[in-house]
Structure formats: structure tokens, C-alpha cells
Structure 1
């Protein structure tokens, strides 16, 4: 199906629709239709100019979602009451993310994003199995008194689903600087080790970033095109003309399916080997390394405690196995439990983020030290992002990530600092983690 045929098909179907007007401006009308052709949604993302736009591919490659345009946006952390009213409705799904730490002074590169950017998409494509469905979301203000769509809404939809055969330019990026530098990193690691001596804190996750500059603006779509699932989620979020964020992350914060929540624990890592025997040896050593196991158990203990505090009964589905990715291998556990009748999704996000894998333990003390030690705002790096809804949620942790802000490229990596950590080892670990995203720019 050509882009023109796709646009025409959707508009012709929509013009025949009318909706029953409801009371209340928060009610969402959802029109859904299964398309005759299966669409490659990553490819579709490469050819849209709609704003905002958000693409998510699941790590098992079984589902892709593409959200285009906004029926409703949420840009403030104090809008939780209104957000809850939307999320209580069947099949309403919001896309986007929130900043890692709203208490940290916002960096200039994140000002367009703000503390939170969640949106109810105007257009939502879902490819799963051998089917592609389209959902279009409307609110009361989009409808005439007779329930038909206002003409301006149809024009907006036309613009949102107008795809073009544009070519992608691959700009050259030159290295600018990194924060912190290697010597400063060493001082910060030593600062963490000194803090551990008081026995009040067991882990602090510190991150660093590399900054590159291009001669012209770009939007990471060349890099999105190069991504492969390979056990990772792929998340792309373009929220302004000059800003786009890409994460190739192995870690989810939580997912919701059929009334159950699943939570990943991913902490403790080692490089991949150059041969199978070398790789197996490194993996075996990782599972026997007490420092790495302790780091992993900080995470699993925290997740179990957080879910229990919400009145849930979590259990291990997978415990302390290896998750092998192209550049790195991790200790991995999977925790699951049924949701409570009155469990709110936003409460889950607030309770689970940040896990010790990206923050530290205990949480509040670790966050205080991250604010003190890190010389930049993480923004969406290591933050919760993805799809949030009552019946279906897929919230990932935005690690292995890059931000484009105008002509500037920011690439991020972090490491868990615990007693026994060394600056050199953690520097090399962050370098290895950044390879996963930096390799997309070669």
C-alpha cells in the first residue's frame, strides 16, 4: 500500500463515522480499524513529519506501536488527577516519558521536554502478529453537536497521516567534550566510596555523557533505521522540530497485560567475549562475582519491597540468569504479580522509579548524591518512558540512549558504584554501555 493510498483509505473510512456525544471533556472516543496490509511501523516513522511522534518496538519483536500527533498533552507533574481520569478509561493509552529527576535543575538541552511529556495520540498504529490496526482518538471538543467530526479535525488528521518519501541525511558528528572527564570521574568515584564508609548507603549509580556536534540539525532517524531489536526495546520520541530522543534499552520498568504486572531487574554486568568459550567464561564469572550479585540483589530487593508496599504479592518468574546483548551481558531477574483492583498506574511508576539499577539504594540518599555528583541533568536518560494505559502498559527504562538537541548529540552511560568499585573499571563499563548507541553513528 502506498502512502497516498493509506491516507485516502483512512480518511474515507473516517468521513462515514459519527460518535455519541458524552458528558464531560475527559471522555475519549476511540475509532479503531484493522488495515488490509501489515505495516512496518519503524519504516513509517522514517517518513512522517508529525509532531509529536513516538515509536516503540517490544524486545521480543512481537509488537510495534507508532503514535502521531496529539489529541491531548500533559506537560505538568501536578496534572495527576486529570491523568488518572484518562487512564481509568478502557483502551486509552498515553505515550511519552518524564524526566529522571524533576528535583534536579533542568538542563538547557531538556527545556523543550519539561518535567513530563505524555500525550494521547491523535493517530495510533499497532502492528502485532500479522495485523496492523489503527486507532484514532477524539475528545468531546473534536465533535459537532450531531456527533460528526469537525472539519478542522479531519484536516488535522490528513496532515498527521501524510507520509513522504523523504531521503534521510546522515550528518557527520565531531567529538566536542565529555562530562565528567576521566580525572573528575575518578574524584567522584572516590567521593562515593568515602560516603559508603558511614554504612548508611549501599549503592550510587553515577552516569556520564559524551557530547558531539554536527554541522546541521538532524533527528536520529538514520540511527533509528539502523536499530535491531536483539533483546532490546527500541524507543524513539521526537517532541519538537529540534529535539529527539532514542533509546535501545534492554530494561523495562514494568509492563501490564491481562491484569498482571511484570518488572525487570537488570544489574550486574560484564563485557561479551571474543569467542564462545571466552564469552561463557565471562558469563560464569559474572554469576559468581559477589560484588555484581550484591548490586543485582539491591535491585530485586527494592522491587519486591516497592510492590509489597502497594499491597501486591510479587514473585520471581526468572531469577539471576544471564541476559546476553551484542556488547554486554547482564544478570537478569523477572518479577511478576496480579494487580490490585484499585492499583493506579501512576502510583506504580512513582513507586518503582528509579530502581537501584539506575539510581541506587536507599533511593532518597542515592538521589541526593546523584544530584550532588553529576554535573548535568539526565533528562530522559534512565527515566521511565513508553506506553501507559489501564489494559496495556509498556514502560521501559531509557538507558543506552542519545538525545539530539539542535546540532548537539548527547550519548549517556551509567555504572553502579558500590563498596569495592574502582574508577577505571566503572569508566570502562560506561564506555562499553555507550558503544551500544554510539555504534549507530558509525
Structure 2
């Protein structure tokens, strides 16, 4: 049977919604869905006029989600602590036993620091409308929350949202942007000072690793569509996580990141140590040589081992057992390659997602070791607000959750693009080499913006 076109699917969905009032609701959260014909998700998302807008695609799964509107939104600004956040999370997740209900969002890198407006220290939404692809199956989904409004009100709100849906349109082609200015924070001179501080023996003895990062602000001649930019980025790094959150027309946070924070299926948890970087070669022989040099490099292999051990130590109290690769392998991206170790755990009964996030985030790959002293140094010395950069972004539901670490990311504002990159600083790190690593990590996104 052929899946219906969008217009027919909308009619079918509308009919299902109108009949809801005749059926008793078992859960406070109601989900209604219809199967539809294939639709390009990012193009569909970019064509909609409703906010918020979000997109999610896993790194190694045949699943993709585009969503608009808000059925439930829980936002935490600068006056919330982890206990309150955890309680709110648990209360929300327990509203339904439906394994298909998903909350999408993110947690800032530093929940003790000032947060980005609109994004907050943490923000998760249950979208009003979702378009989900699983392999070759596409579904149009609506969510209703009758814990906060009557069923009649929710049906009316959902029908109104459906009436605003538009068909996908071709994405606006990206034009080569004219760079009107560039500002790096920290500056090159300040970067050298920070690395000298971190590698000073007295400091390094108690804090052996700090992941320093840089915000590169590009002033551009005209605004860039975040979804077109993400689609282009996606084409360059198909093996990465790809996601974006746009809570208003003014700002969008997009990411094409290689790093998983964790993937949970019931009590089985999968995570990784991703640290240590080199460039790709111009041919296969050179590429292998660079990879082998990375595997043989004492500084990078030590950095990856530190990350692995910290993750294992954090998971042990939450798990019945933890297994981790003894030796690193190579994880390749379009412009760079990383050292990688897989880690698996069986969580103890009753351990929830927020406990895992609290334990693992920020990872040593984006914060440092020990976690507290490294993050204290970053907060005091780095010179800008990381916000959701290096934060944890993804989704959770009752039986499954997945979060990525937003390390290759951009905050898009009118006539400005904020890019972010970081490098792990340990004993022996050299400012010139680490600054070059930052440039290498921005190479893909900069080439998209300036070489069209």
C-alpha cells in the first residue's frame, strides 16, 4: 500500500484528532500518528513558520526527526539547581508509559554559569508536530498534553497547528558569505597565556587536563539560513550526529558533532572516549600514516586514556558492570581523525537519564580532569559563555535516550555566526600546535561558508 501524500496525511490526522473526544484517555500525554510518503525533513522544517523548530539525526542510526511547535516546554534559566532539574525531569517522564513519546533538548556545558537567553541551563520540549523517518518509513505525529489543559483545548490547539503546515520547498542555496570581520575569544595572545598557565607544573600536578576552547565570531554581510547551513554540513560529515534547535527566528544552534555522550536502551548504556586529533591525508597512504602517528603519539594517547578512565570511574557507582576498550582505534571525519574507545555499561535498576547526565557531563573530552577544578578554570579564564557549546543535546523517553556532545557547533544570529572549537591541554601541549588544531576543527564549516 502506497503511503499517502502530505495533504492526505493531514486530512487523516485531522479526522483522528476530531474523534479523540469520543475515546477515554489512558495517559495525560496522547500521541496520534499517520504514515506518509517520503519527505525531505530539513526542507520541510525550513518551510514551516512555527517555532520552536528542531532537527535530530543520530550518528549511526537510520532515524531522523524534524519537529515544530510546543506541546510541553520545560525551561531552566539561571535560578535552578540540579536537584530541581532532576525532579522536573522525572515528573515529566513519568506522565506516560508510551515509549514513542520523546522530549528533545539540551543541557548547557556549565550549569553554574550564566546561560544563553532562550536556551537556558537546560531546555526540553515535547513538540506539537513531529516528522519522523525510521529507515524508509515516514510518520507525521502530533502530541497532546492533557495534564495542563482540557482534551478539547488540546485538540483545538493541535488542529490550529496542523492548519499552518506547509509543503517542503527547496532549500535556499547558500551563497559565499562576505566576511566583514572576525573576532576570536580568547585571542591568540591570550591563548598562549592560558596554555602556559595550564601546563605550569604546579597547576598541572593537581589539574592534569583542561579543555580550552575558542569562540570565533564571524560578522557576515547577510544572514545565513541555519537549516541550509546544517544540510550542507551534514553532506560533509554524514557519520556525525546532526541536530539543530531554533526557539525563535533570531537565533539557532546547530551542530554536526562526532561525539556521543551516551545512548541508553533500557538499562544498557553505550558511551565512548573521543579525544586526540590529527588531520586527514591527501591520499590513502598519507591518511594511514597520519592515523598511525596519532596512535603512536604519547600526548594524544595519554589524553584519550585519561578520558576513558574518568568515564569508567563516573559510571561505576551507577552500574552493575562497565566494559571499556583497552586500546584506542581511529574515528575518521572529513577533515580530521580522532582516537576513540568504546565503553559499555549495564545500569543499576532505577538509575535515570538525569543521573547519567550528571555523572558524565561535561566529559573530560570537553571539560578536563579533575572535572571541578578544570571547569572552575574554564569559567574564570576562558573569557566567553559556552552556553550549549560542548553541552549535551538529544532526546529522552521512558525506554531509550540518546545525547551527543555539541563540540562541532555554531550559534547563528542575524549577520553573525559564532563558531566553537576546543583542544585538550595537558603537560607538553604547545600553543602553536593547539591553535592549529582549533583551525583544523573549524575547517569544514569555514569551507562551506567561504568556498561556495
TM over 0.5: yes
Aligned match of 2:156 in 151, 160, 163?
151
Return the alpha-carbon distance in structure 2 between the equivalents of residues 424 and 103 of structure 1.
Answer: 31
Compared with structure 1, are the counterparts of its residues 28 and 353 closer, same or farther at alpha carbon in structure 2 (3 Å cutoff)?
same
- CA shift, 1:338, in A, is 2.3
Tell whether 2:62 aligns with 1:28.
Answer: no
**Contact preservation (8 Å) 1:67, 1:95:** no
User: Helix, strand or coil: the match of 1:274?
Assistant: coil
Compared with structure 1, are the counterparts of its residues 165 and 225 closer, same or farther at alpha carbon in structure 2 (3 Å cutoff)?
same
Return the alpha-carbon distance in structure 1 between the equivalents of residues 61 and 434 of structure 2.
Answer: 31
Which ranges in structure 1 are unaligned for 5 or more consecutive residues?
Answer: none
Aligned match of 1:100 in 101, 106, 109?
109
Tell whether 2:263 aligns with 1:263.
Answer: no
Compared with structure 1, are the counterparts of its residues 259 and 136 closer, same or farther at alpha carbon in structure 2 (3 Å cutoff)?
farther
User: Helix, strand or coil: the match of 2:321?
Assistant: coil
Return the alpha-carbon distance in structure 1 between the equivalents of residues 222 and 243 of structure 2.
Answer: 23
Return the alpha-carbon distance in structure 2 between the equivalents of residues 143 and 412 of structure 1.
Answer: 40
Tell whether 2:83 aligns with 1:63.
Answer: no
**Contact preservation (8 Å) 2:408, 2:421:** yes
**Contact preservation (8 Å) 2:209, 2:425:** yes
| Count of aligned pairs | 433
Tell whether 2:89 aligns with 1:83.
Answer: yes
Q: Which residue of 1 aligns with 2:209?
A: 203
- Written as runs of structure 1 = structure 2, the 5 A alignment for 1:229-308 is 229-308=237-316
Tell whether 2:121 aligns with 1:115.
Answer: yes
**Contact preservation (8 Å) 1:99, 1:115:** yes
User: Helix, strand or coil: the match of 2:287?
Assistant: helix
- Written as runs of structure 1 = structure 2, the 5 A alignment for 1:274-353 is 274-316=282-324, 319-353=327-361
Return the alpha-carbon distance in structure 1 between the equivalents of residues 143 and 370 of structure 2.
Answer: 41
User: Helix, strand or coil: the match of 1:335?
Assistant: strand
Q: Which residue of 1 aligns with 2:432?
A: 424
Q: Which residue of 2 aligns with 1:74?
A: 74
Q: Which residue of 1 aligns with 2:39?
A: 39
- CA shift, 1:367, in A, is 0.3
- CA shift, 1:30, in A, is 2.0
User: Helix, strand or coil: the match of 2:306?
Assistant: helix
Return the alpha-carbon distance in structure 1 between the equivalents of residues 204 and 448 of structure 2.
Answer: 42
Q: Which residue of 2 aligns with 1:364?
A: 372
Compared with structure 1, are the counterparts of its residues 269 and 166 closer, same or farther at alpha carbon in structure 2 (3 Å cutoff)?
closer
Compared with structure 1, are the counterparts of its residues 166 and 2 closer, same or farther at alpha carbon in structure 2 (3 Å cutoff)?
farther
User: Helix, strand or coil: the match of 1:70?
Assistant: coil
- CA shift, 1:219, in A, is 3.6
**Contact preservation (8 Å) 1:17, 1:148:** no
Compared with structure 1, are the counterparts of its residues 352 and 67 closer, same or farther at alpha carbon in structure 2 (3 Å cutoff)?
same
Q: Which residue of 1 aligns with 2:407?
A: 399
- CA shift, 1:80, in A, is 2.8
Q: What is the alpha-carbon root mean square deviation over aligned residues? A: 2.3
Compared with structure 1, are the counterparts of its residues 14 and 57 closer, same or farther at alpha carbon in structure 2 (3 Å cutoff)?
same
Return the alpha-carbon distance in structure 1 between the equivalents of residues 429 and 333 of structure 2.
Answer: 23
Return the alpha-carbon distance in structure 2 between the equivalents of residues 79 and 364 of structure 1.
Answer: 20
Compared with structure 1, are the counterparts of its residues 340 and 134 closer, same or farther at alpha carbon in structure 2 (3 Å cutoff)?
farther
- CA shift, 1:217, in A, is 3.8
User: Which region of structure 1 is more displaced relative to structure 2, 268-277 or 220-229?
Assistant: 220-229
Q: Which residue of 1 aligns with 2:135?
A: 129
**Contact preservation (8 Å) 1:30, 1:138:** yes
User: Helix, strand or coil: the match of 1:387?
Assistant: strand
**Contact preservation (8 Å) 1:400, 1:436:** no
Return the alpha-carbon distance in structure 2 between the equivalents of residues 338 and 311 of structure 1.
Answer: 5
User: Helix, strand or coil: the match of 1:239?
Assistant: strand
Which ranges in structure 2 are unaligned for 5 or more consecutive residues?
Answer: none
Compared with structure 1, are the counterparts of its residues 65 and 203 closer, same or farther at alpha carbon in structure 2 (3 Å cutoff)?
same
- CA shift, 1:216, in A, is 4.2
Tell whether 2:397 aligns with 1:389.
Answer: yes
